[in-house]
Amino acid sequence: NISSFFCSGSRSSKTFKPKKNIPEGSHQYELLKHAEATLGSGNLRMAVMLPDGEDLNEWVAVNTVDFFNQINMLYGTITDFCTEESCPVMSAGPKYEYHWADGTNIKKPIKCSAPKYIDYLMTWVQDQLDDETLFPSKIGVPFPKNFMSVAKTILKRLFRVYAHIYHQHFDPVIQLQEEAHLNTSFKHFIFFVQEFNLIDRRELAPLQELIEKLTSKDR
């Protein structure tokens, strides 16, 4: 049941990084509640659509925070299996390897282990989400002109964590009975990025077959 997963909050999984909270009582909080309610209906295609009269930037911002929290929690359940020894490189199957660069602290891409890469990645995302000039939480504060390009970069990078979990850690996911949870979260993510054209198809290649399988039922 999708709604119980999204709203239960009582899962026994540890969060990898601190959760990013959307302030209660804010308009963004209302949007998040709206998203959770529509997810509860089970129709993910409908759930990702921009609600009538809402600002696209704000809708993308709220959902990006939500995906960060979901992936944070999903990765938190398998951190024991994702180690320097098990994953000396950040990969998504034999054909795809990721090297980390954030353009500011690390300008030249570095090869590092998956746990290190994901630590860099999630810390970087968290810093973007906490930046009030990029992700304003106060009503009436406008989003910056480059907001969409920043959001696209965040989502492109968060996708890599899903890709790594699916390719390298699917066995523990099954053992932990997290498979349905992971699939629902990923499917929601994919419908969202497809709806607003947020990730280049080439970036999605490591999970192309899975994406086709998960989305073909809901054409």
The binding site for Zn(2+) comprises 82, 87, 164, 169
Provide the 8-state DSSP code for 25.
T
Which amino acid, residue 44? L
Work out the burial of residue 144: count CB atoms within 10 Å of its CB; fewer than 13 is exposed, 13-18 middle, 19 or more buried. middle
What sign does the dihedral 181-98-83-121 (CA atoms) show? negative
Provide the 8-state DSSP code for 146.
T
What sign does the dihedral 52-58-63-66 (CA atoms) show? negative
Binding residues: 82, 87, 164, 169
Tokens found for residue 147: 């907001």
Helices (H), the chain: 2-8, 27-40, 44-48, 56-78, 114-130, 147-168, 170-175, 179-195, 208-216
Which amino acid, residue 91? S
Residues 69/92, Cβ–Cβ less than 8 Å? no
- How far apart, in Å, are the Cα atoms of 122 and each of 7, 20, 21, 61, 75? 23, 11, 15, 16, 10
